[in-house]
Amino acid sequence: MNRQIKLISKERHSTVYVAHLTFKNMKSIPVKFQYKEIIDCSGRKFKIIPKGSEEQKAQIQITPNGIQIENLNGNEQFAVLAANGGQQIYEYEIHQNRSKQSSQYRKR
């Protein structure tokens, strides 16, 4: 598995990253897998936008704390990598928003 995160934009109150995941199977038999990523935003709000084909988007499940990759179409909840070099590529954007500080001042 290879995971790459790239910073797309950073502003005062928001940041956008793109995540690129590559899973590859070098075994001679198919391999089942699940992937879970927890995003620690330290109290910041975040939004995840899946990218890629409709099949890939359907396998990226957005959870309250991040993402989980699994195939929910069948009875079992896992994704499958084909034998001998089979690979799956997933991509998604993470949009983080920081709360804006109040510009009001207290009167003494």
Alpha carbon of residue 76 to chain centroid? 21
CA angle 71, 75, 79 (to 5 degrees): 25
- For the stretch 49-108, pLDDT in tens is 999 999 888 889 999 889 998 875 556 678 889 999 999 999 999 999 887 654 454 555
CATH topology for 2-97 is: Immunoglobulin-like (2.60.40)
Single pTM value for the model:
0.80
Torsions phi, psi for 58 (to 5 deg): -65, -25
- For the stretch 85-100, pLDDT in tens is 999 999 999 999 887 6
Residue 83 gets the label, from left (phi > 0), alpha (psi -120 to 50) or beta, of beta
Place of tokens 């990253």: 17
Contacts 24+ apart (CB under 8 A), 7-15: 8/93, 13/97, 13/98, 13/99, 13/100, 14/95, 14/96, 14/97, 14/98, 15/95, 15/96
